[in-house]
Amino acid sequence: MKQAELFDDLLEAYAGCGASMSNQVLYKELARRGSVEPEDLERTVPIGRSAEQHSPVKRRIRWHQQTLRALGLLERDEGAGRGHWRLTPMGRRKLTPALPGKVLVGFSTDLGVALWAAAGDVFSKLDEPIVLCLSSLPYPLARPRAYGNPTVETYVDWACKLLEPVAKHLVPGGTIALNISNEIFVKGSPARSLYVEHLVIALCQRLGLHLWERMVWENPSKPPGPLQWASLTRQQLNAKYEPIYCFTNDPMLLRSDNRRVLETHTKRQLALMKAGGEQRTTSYGDGAHRLRPGSYGRVTPGRIPGNVLTIAHRCADKEAARREAIAQGLPTHGAAMPLKLAQFLIEFLTEPGDLVVDPCGGWMTTGKAAEVTGRPWLCTELMGEYVLGAANRFRQAQGFACFGQVQGLIEA
C-alpha cells in the first residue's frame, strides 16, 4: 500500500466513524475496506535489536497516524483512552458538491477553464465543437469513495445521461475515450460484472456512437487485487490493467493520428533500415507472413505504438498536487489518472488547438495534459475542494487565475 493511498484510507475510515476510534477498531475497518489483508495484520516478524515479534502492517499504520498528526489532520482522544484517535477540524473537512444549476469558475488559464458544477449544467448548454472527451469515470465500487459513485445497477443509465450532451457536440470523427474499471464483481462471486459490456452496447445504441478501439492500460504499480479472489481464495490472478474504450460518431473521419505519438526505433530496427532492410526471402505461418529482400528497409521517423500502454499510476505531478492539498487542509483525490497516460491519449487523438473536455474532472489531469500539449480545455468537477486542489497544478500556466468565490462558498 503506497503512503498517499493509505493516507486516504485512514482519513476515510476515521470520517466514516464520526468519532474517535481505537487502533484495534481501525485495523478491522481497514481490512473491511480492502486496504490491508486480514492475515497480514496478524503476521508478525522479529523487529529491532530485541527481536520482539511485531506486525509490520500495524506498525506502518501507526507510522501513518503520526504523519497525519504532524500534518494537523489527526489527534489523540485522550479522554477515550490509550490508542484512540480522531480527526481534527481540518481533517473533518468534507467534500462540498456544487448547488444544482450553479456554475462557478474555479480557475482558468489562457487555454482552459475548470468549473465547479454538475456536468449536465454545463455541457447541456455548451455551444463549442468538442474533438475529444477524455475521462476516468467514477467506478461502480461496492464501497464508494469520498466523492461517491453510481451503483452497478444504475451505471449504464447514469453514464449515458452524462455523456449524451457531450456526444451531441462531438465533431465528426471526434472521440470519447473512457477509462473504466473491469474489476467489478457479482456480489459474493469471482464472476465479473458485465456492466462494461452493457455500457459499450448502450453508448453505441443510445448515443449513435461506434466503438473503434479498446486500449489496455497496464499499470505496473497497481496494488494486488482482487484481494478476495486472488489473495484469499487464490482463484484469480492479480489484475494489472484497466481498459480504455474509444468511441466516435464517424469512424471514417477519425481525428486520431499515430504519427503524433511515434516511439523511438530500437537499435536493431535502426541497423536494419541502415542496411536497406532484410536480405533474405522466407515465410512464416504457412505463408501468412513473408519476408523479401528490402523488407523493413524504408526509413521512417519512428515506430507505431501498440495499444497496450504500460504506464505506472504513480505520477510526480500528481504527488506534488497531493502534498499541496494536504498542506492546505484540502482532501486528496484517491483516483487521479497519471498525467503521462492522459498526455499520450490527447496527443494521439487531437491536434493542437482542438478542444478537450472532461465532465468528471477530479484533479483536472485531463486539463493539465491538454495545457502542456497546447490544447484548449474545459473540465467540470462536482466537488469544490477538488477544484481548489487541482488549481495547484496550474499555477505556473500562462494566464493562470484562481477565483476566490469558490473558496468563500466552501468555507461558508
209 has a pLDDT exceeding 50? yes
Instruction: Give the pLDDT band (50/70/90) at residue 10.
Output: confident
- CB of 293 within 8 A of CB of 279? yes
pLDDT of residue 92: 60
62-87 mean pLDDT: 81
Residue of 408, 380, 402 lying closest to 163 (CA atoms): 380
pLDDT of residue 4: 47
Over the stretch 75-122, which tens digit does the pLDDT of each residue have? 888 878 788 888 776 666 667 888 889 999 999 999 999 999 999 999
pLDDT of residue 249: 98
Distance CA 202, CA 196 (A): 10
49 has a pLDDT exceeding 80? no
Q: Comparing 73-77, 86-90, 196-200, 308-312, which segment has the lowest mean pLDDT?
A: 86-90
Residue of 10, 3, 39 lying closest to 25 (CA atoms): 10
Q: Which three cell numbers stand for residue 362?
A: 477530479
Phi, psi torsion values for 43, nearest 5 degrees: -80, 130
More confident residue, 20 or 199: 199
- CB of 217 within 8 A of CB of 245? no
Tell me which H or E stretch contains 120.
helix 119-123
pTM: 0.78
Q: Which three cell numbers stand for residue 321?
A: 498536487
- CB of 297 within 8 A of CB of 269? no
Instruction: Of 43-52, 273-282, 367-376, give the range with the top mean pLDDT.
Output: 367-376
Please spell the DSSP secondary structure of 262-317, one letter per residue: PBPPPHHHHHHHHTTS----EEETTTTEEE-TTTT-S--S-BPPPSEEE--S--HH
203 has a pLDDT exceeding 90? yes
Mean pLDDT in the chain? Answer: 87
395 has a pLDDT exceeding 70? yes
Specify the residue for cell string 448547488: 99
Over the stretch 165-177, which tens digit does the pLDDT of each residue have? 999 999 999 999 9
Distance CA 65, CA 167 (A): 45
| Backbone conformation region of residue 268, classed left if phi is above 0, alpha if psi is from -120 to 50, else beta | alpha
Phi, psi torsion values for 28, nearest 5 degrees: -65, -40
Q: Which three cell numbers stand for residue 374?
A: 497546447
Instruction: Give the pLDDT band (50/70/90) at residue 41.
Output: confident
H helices present in 151-274, as ranges: 152-168, 195-207, 267-274
Over the stretch 323-339, which tens digit does the pLDDT of each residue have? 888 778 787 776 788 99
- CB of 6 within 8 A of CB of 64? yes
3 has a pLDDT exceeding 60? no
Q: Comparing 120-134, 174-188, 294-308, 384-398, which segment has the lowest mean pLDDT?
A: 294-308
